Structure 1
Amino acid sequence: MTGEKFVKPIKPKVDINKVNTHIIPFEFEYFEPRTVKEAVELLTKYGGEAKILAGGTDLIVRMKQRFIEPKYIINIKKIKELNFIEDRGDYLAIGAATKLREIEKSGIVKRKFEALYEAVRSMAGVQIRNMATIGGNLCNASPAADTAPPLLVFEAKLKIVGPNGERVVPINEFFLGPGKTVLKPNEILTEIQIPYQPEDTGSAFIKIARVAMDLAKVNVAVALRTEGSIVKWVRIALGAVAPTPIRAYKTEEFLVGKELNEETLKEAAEIVKTEVKPITDIRSTAEYRREVSGVIVKDALLRAYERISKG
């Protein structure tokens, strides 16, 4: 004996299923409806025990890590009526299962809704954008969802279908909290309706993240109209700074009728910092998010104004 005390190794308390992302370690039933009606019928039958699979970029990962264990998976990828980008006169309609990459490649989105184009382009890599859907990005209800701020400033509406018919919800009423929306267990988001803005509208999206293509620490979208350098109307929305994506209504009200100069922008940045309610988490601190909110709102306003000036 050497006099050294033998210490029995402690077995790490690690569930292998939480780290092995090559398998889904539980059983579930799988459905592939071909119509919205069939999908709603399945949701009505299985309710809260079912999950919708669209792009799967979030759902599959969470299932592999056993953060969620749905008994039923309803794959909506083959429902053609959910995958489209369509000009409807007063607004652009985008199917909820439309891939982000298709939105990114859409000429009408880039021309008419530049903030949305910039937001989609900033998300993850091309491989992910080829899978992820706009409806999934919204329905996950992440406070940092990149498509939410542009859709908020464009005052989009969301068409929802359930067993009792359809309803249209303004996007500012869609989010209830982190991971929570107004969708009922037997309802499905079918399309996003984005009103066309006046021709002299400028818009911009800016995102701050740890590295390129990462989730946002803070993101902001702006839509702006001016008469010369005077703000005619403005909409500002931010993500990752509150339990849900938010509109900065006080800042908007302050800006209307003001000349868009350095002093005005500085005051607007200070007002924004009073409207956000950030938290500290793994990605950033509340203090950083609050400070950066003012900076990127100022930058987004300038970018949108420059686009108006360039015509």
Structure 2
Amino acid sequence: MPDFDLLLPKSLAEAAELLATHRQRITVMAGGTDVLVAMKFTQSPEYVMSLDGIPGLGYVVFDAAKGLRIGAKATIADLLEQPEVKHHYPALWHAAEIFATGQVRNTATVLGNLLRASPAGDCSCAIYAIGGKLVLQRTAGRREVDIDDFWLSYGVTARQPDELAVELVLPPPAVGARGAFKRMTRTNDDLSKLNVAVQLEMLGNTCVEARFAMGCVAPTPLRLKNTEALLKGRELTAELLARLVESVPSEISPIDDKRSTAEYRRQVSGVLLKRAIEEACSAA
């Protein structure tokens, strides 16, 4: 591990002041499951600021009218303890259920998964399909960033160096909402080599709205907007599902890596989306 100075703020205001002072020289740590690994291999920050001493950030709160609020220190395990998440946000709950190992789930935070900006992030994929906003705080106040605008490139987000991500807000479930998450891995505890999440608003067998997110097929998690458009406003049929399967490869740009090949990802991407849609609808 490189040498660094550990900062332990006791409030959000103090944390924001430290970020304003040190900016790019500081790394923020909540659970630490990504930060500590990165510091062993690729990062050498001058300062590490732990959120451990800041009270009141470990919440997962659901309100039927306002949606789901997740604080900066809420872990993957905290998410799984909430029955409202399983009922109203099944894609996110399932992504959390199969997230890494039990030890990691007890430590890793939901917001940390988003801030890592990895295209393989399972919770990131599910949240992208659901939609939502990140609340960022700096000394001058707070701002909200739509999840659609949050990931800029591999490992890069819209968070500025003097901003702290304090909360994720997911929208309240719509009438007829359906969701599902699926992934493919080499082993159960490994990172995904392909993942997909769907969020549907159904009226009978007709899709009113659709959001599809896929990971491991681009530098960031990816919205499949062209494929979404094929489904919106139409009745879900076997013929339409077949068209969706054919559409997905034209929207993705996977690469060869140690977990899979680009060609394999192209071949199975549409099928995995189809299975997620079928699972979401069968759970109604």
TM-score in terms of structure 2 length: 0.96
Aligned partner of 1:111 in structure 2 is 87
**Per-residue CA distance 1:97-137 (angstroms, 9 max, x = gap):** 21110101111111110100001111101100001001111
Match of 1:294 among 249, 270, 282: 270
Quick check: 2:197–2:276 contact (8 Å CA) kept in 1?
yes
Cα shift at 1:224? 1.3
Instruction: Let me know the Cα RMSD of the aligned residues.
Output: 1.2
**Whole-angstrom CA distance in 1 between matches of 2:206 and 2:236:** 6
2:43 counterpart letter in structure 1: I
Aligned partner of 1:231 in structure 2 is 207
Match of 1:281 among 247, 257, 276: 257
TM-score in terms of structure 1 length: 0.88
Match of 1:76 among 31, 35, 51: 51
Aligned partner of 1:258 in structure 2 is 234
**Whole-angstrom CA distance in 2 between matches of 1:188 and 1:155:** 20
Cα shift at 1:169? 0.6
1:27 counterpart letter in structure 2: D
Quick check: 2:175–2:201 contact (8 Å CA) kept in 1?
no
Match of 2:184 among 208, 218, 222: 208
Aligned partner of 1:44 in structure 2 is 20
List runs of 5+ in structure 1 lacking aligned partners: 1-23
List runs of 5+ in structure 2 lacking aligned partners: none
Match of 1:152 among 124, 128, 131: 128
1:109 counterpart letter in structure 2: V
Question: Does structure 1 residue 218 correspond to structure 2 residue 189?
Answer: no
Cα shift at 1:84? 0.6
Q: Larger Rg: 1 or 2?
A: 1
**Per-residue CA distance 1:250-272 (angstroms, 9 max, x = gap):** 11111123332221111101111
**Whole-angstrom CA distance in 1 between matches of 2:4 and 2:27:** 10
**Whole-angstrom CA distance in 2 between matches of 1:135 and 1:223:** 20
Q: What aligned pairs does 1:169-184 form with structure 2 within 5 A after superposition?
A: 169-184=145-160
SS in 1 for 2:233: coil
SS in 1 for 2:56: helix
Quick check: 1:115–1:221 contact (8 Å CA) kept in 2?
yes
**Whole-angstrom CA distance in 2 between matches of 1:271 and 1:205:** 19
**Whole-angstrom CA distance in 2 between matches of 1:291 and 1:38:** 50
Q: What aligned pairs does 1:110-149 form with structure 2 within 5 A after superposition?
A: 110-149=86-125
Cα shift at 1:295? 0.9
**Per-residue CA distance 1:245-294 (angstroms, 9 max, x = gap):** 11111111111233322211111011111111111112111111112210
1:85 counterpart letter in structure 2: V
Query: Number of residues paired by the alignment?
Result: 283
Quick check: 1:53–1:74 contact (8 Å CA) kept in 2?
yes
Match of 1:58 among 34, 37, 41: 34
Match of 1:97 among 40, 52, 73: 73
**Whole-angstrom CA distance in 2 between matches of 1:265 and 1:27:** 54
Quick check: 1:35–1:81 contact (8 Å CA) kept in 2?
no
SS in 2 for 1:183: coil
Match of 2:62 among 68, 83, 87: 87
